[in-house]
Amino acid sequence: MSFFLEVLIGGLLAGIMYSLVALGFVLIYKASGVFNFAQGAMVFFAALTFVGAQEKLGLPIWAAFPFSLALMILLGVLTEKVVLRPLVNQPPISLFMVTIGLTFFVEGLAQLFWGTKVYPLELGIPDEPIVTTFENWGISLAGVPIVLQEINSFDLIAAFVAGILVAILAIFFQITRVGRALRAVADDHQAALSVGIPLKTIWAIVWSVAGFVALIAGLMWGARNGVQFALTFVALKALPVLILGGFDSVLGAIVGGLIIGALEKLAEVYIGPFFGGGIEIWFAYVAALLFLLIRPEGLFGDKQIDRV
Amino acid sequence: MKLTTILLALTLSFFLASCGDSPDGGGPEAVDTQFFGVTGYRVGPYGPSGAPIASGYIDYLRLLNERDGGINGVPVSWEECETEYNTAKGLECYERLKTRNKNGPTAIHPMSTGITYGLIDKAPIDKIPLITLGYGRTDASDGRVFPWVFPLMTNYWSQASAIVRFIAQKEGGLSKLNGRKIVLLYHDSAYGKEPHGILEKESENLGFSLVKIPVPHPGNEQQSQWMRIKKEQPDWVILWGWGVMSGTSIKTAKKIGFPREKMVGNWWSGAEVDTLAAGPSASTGYYAASMNLSGDHFAVVKEIRKYVYETGKGDDESYIGTVLWNRGVVQAMLTAEAVRLAQTKYGATSMTGAQVRWGIENLELTQSKLDSLGFGDMVPPIKVSCENHEGPGLVRFQQWDGVKWVAASDWIVGDKQLVRTMVEESAANYAREKNLTPACLDR
């Protein structure tokens, strides 16, 4: 039982790391209806800028963060000006295609600026197993004390960071004037423009906020795996989370991450050996697709009702 | 001026400025040069591993020109082609490079198993030898079936067998492996499955149990694999990783508390990029196989510093002495020495691919020759023959001390007889499939 719980909790915590990436997708989709294929590249760009600023420009860690954030905001503003503005009112597929092009550009730009080396990233967060026993609280299963060895300090802090991010984003979207404008723009570009919402400003803001989320995700994933090109692949982990949680729900990104993380880890450990192992990636997609059949808009996504 | 116009102008200026750079080494058009076509990958997901190899290779070619004026008076030229570790791009590079220079490329190091497979049928037609140091088809060690392919030094099966012997050394002898449990944590690809056959045989012969756990590409999250490892409670873990997978494995081992002193990586999981990605301290104690030693104390490295870097012609000084940069230097040296040997038979001029092929197949680098070249014990003595395109099949083990790799064993040989039997069986199957008659060329 302890082992099952360890796998489950490990999966939930891994899922939180996926949610960090998924949040960036959600933000842009929520505000512009665009599936931003470049989100993984933005995570890579942000993390590489953070370590590159320290390695190549000699900035201290406290200065590297605002520097990276400033560059991400600049990237967001430029994306709006150069890439998105000419495509206002174009079909969503055009906007999606342009983000594919943006992916390669951002990946190339990051390597051009900061090189292709692997950088270790130490944030000072301990990454050790924490042995947790429930014995002291008198919790046991059939008289056997439950001891969890797989709860990891880094994962717990990542979960805490994700929680704070979600709280900030929820407040931003629900309470602030800009947040409400973002939601209006997401519903209908033209209608939003007609009531005086500055579409260009809103898009620049949302891409900048997505840049901030990419920076946080990049730092957490970079601290786990080192900062390297492979950070772009973390987007693959976020896709089933988005399918399950809904493309336009911040809460969905978190809950979807938890479910996908837990499901894929349990599947790999308990079902994987019957298939020769290595099933977790496709299993996550299969689980998400099955869920899609039941609820196409995802767990928390807005239901689309079109008049015909 | 509009922002888009400014950006367009900047991009164009940058592009034009980049076009102005010409390759050093005289360029492929120089008269009677020994032309080296360099296929490598400096960008993309595997760029951190590819860049030091390509730099080491080219730095050695630069040394030959700067110090010796080339190979026996024939200047060396080269052209680098970026493959991004992508098979289609690699094949395109090969097609481009084979048209350069009057003799085409000296030899091609495809730097990818996928690209190697794509070139195996082309190389004999174009008469361009393929050198696949530490990757590619293991059965190409049988030169009677694969006369144009040279794994050189050692191959995957010899490496896997040597890893088992290294573990046995640590356990106190081969007999001590009986009853032990070893997990093979492998990249879920053809590359990762390459050692399955040999390790299964070793497991039967030596009595240890083998548990194979795949990691799906790219391997940047391994919680569940390491939970399985924890459940299996193995004595050792063999890591057969690539790219981000290797560093993540080491990091996750630390995360669950598995001792790194009980992990042995293969040579594609044993470079600085892997240990740095995991974090230098997380990797402390981790072992890895290697076909070459790291370090900048070798005479040849000092020569490169003196003739190449001190004259401002080097690539990236931070790579010097790393495992992969040294491997690039070794690759270039083996190719250059094959050219030098071919010149003794065909004359001191630029060599064709067919002549270089003869040079590689008859290459013999004794310890005194290696010493004179400045390599010392960076690599073991090498002797190639028609039957044996692998060479010595020796592997050395290094351990990460928290800052750098340090040698942790002498050169170790695996079960040579077992490996050779498997190589010949596999090569014979290939020959039957392709309707080839195994034979030695140039004999």
Q: Any idea where the domains of chain A sit in the sequence?
A: 2-231
- Same domain? For B117 and B188 the reply is no
Is it the case that residue A144 has pLDDT exceeding 80? Answer: no
Position with higher pLDDT, B315 vs A213? A213
Residue B204 half-sphere exposure toward CB, CA atoms < 13 A: 6
The pLDDT value recorded for residue A87 is 84
Of B229, B258, B290, the residue at which a domain comes to its end is: B290
Among the candidates B290, B324, B357, a domain finishes at B290
Average pLDDT, whole number, for chain A? 86
- Asked whether residue B266 falls in the same domain as residue B202, the answer is yes
B278 and chain A in contact, CB less than 8 A: yes
* Residue B40 located in a structural domain: yes
Please name the residue of chain A whose CA is at the shortest distance from the CA of residue B319.
A117
Flag whether pLDDT at B241 surpasses 90: yes
**Each residue of B4-53: pLDDT tens digit?**
555 555 555 544 444 333 344 444 454 689 999 999 999 988 899 999 99
Contact check, Cβ <8 Å, B280/A120: yes
Peptide bond into B218 cis (omega under 30): yes
Is residue B408 situated within a structural domain? no
For residue B205, the domain's CATH number is 3.40.50.2300
A-B C-beta contacts closer than 8 Å: 132
- Give pLDDT, residue A122: 84
Residue B89 lies in a domain: yes
* Arithmetic mean of pLDDT, B109-127: 94
- Which residue carries 């409400």 as its tokens? A180
Which residues of A are less than 8 Å from B279 in CB distance? 120, 122, 127, 226
The pLDDT assigned to B53 comes to: 96
In degrees rounded to 5, what are phi and psi of residue A151?
Answer: -75, 130
Residues B170 and B283 in one domain: yes
Give the orientation angle of helix A153-174 with respect to helix A199-225, to 10 degrees.
170
User: Is residue B359, in this structure, part of any structural domain at all?
Assistant: yes
What is the structure's pLDDT at A172? Answer: 83
Is the Cβ pair B228, A230 closer than 8 Å? no
ipTM of the complex model: 0.82
Write the pLDDT tens digit of every residue in A25-37: 998 888 777 889 9
What's the gap between Cα B90 and its chain centre? Answer: 16
Among partner residues B48, B213, B318, which is closest to A228 by beta-carbon distance? B48
B285: left (phi over 0), alpha (psi -120 to 50) or beta: left
To probe the interface with A, which of B222, B224, B315 has the most A CB atoms within 10 Å? B224
Quickly state the pLDDT bin for A182 (edges 50, 70, 90).
confident
The answer on B142 and B40 residing in a single domain is yes
**In this structure, how many other beta carbons lie within 10 angstroms of the beta carbon of residue A267?**
20
Measured distance CA(B139)–CA(B61) in Å, rounded: 29
Query: Nearest-CA neighbor of B234 among B255, B213, B206?
Result: B213
Counted domains in chain B: 2
pLDDT confidence of residue B29? 52
Both B266 and B341 in a single domain? Answer: no
pLDDT in tens, A235-290: 888 999 999 998 888 889 999 999 999 999 999 999 988 888 888 888 999 999 99
My answer on whether B315 and B212 are in the same domain is no
Cβ pair A247, A25 in contact under 8 A: yes
Greater confidence (B415 vs A90) lies with B415
> Which positions in chain B touch A11 (Cβ < 8 Å)?
223-224
Q: What tokens were used for A258?
A: 């938890």
Candidates B221, B316, B317, B324, partner chain A, best to mutate (most A CBs within 10 A): B221
- The more confident residue out of B356 and A124 is B356
Residue B14 pLDDT: 47
Tell me if A128 and B188 make a contact (CB, 8 A cut-off).
no
Residue B108 lies in a domain: yes
pLDDT of residue A204: 87
Q: Is 90 exceeded by the pLDDT of residue A127? A: no
Q: DSSP H helical segments within B347-436, as ranges?
A: 353-361, 367-373, 416-434
Q: Which of B262, B290, B318 is the last residue of a domain?
A: B290
| B441 domain-assigned | no
B223 versus B381: the higher-pLDDT residue is: B381
pLDDT the model gives residue A149: 59
Q: Which residues span the domain enclosing B311? A: 24-154+295-394+424-434
385-414 of B, contacting A, C-beta below 8 A: none
Which residue would you say has higher pLDDT here, A250 or B364?
A: B364
pLDDT at B16: 43
Mean pLDDT of B374-400: 95
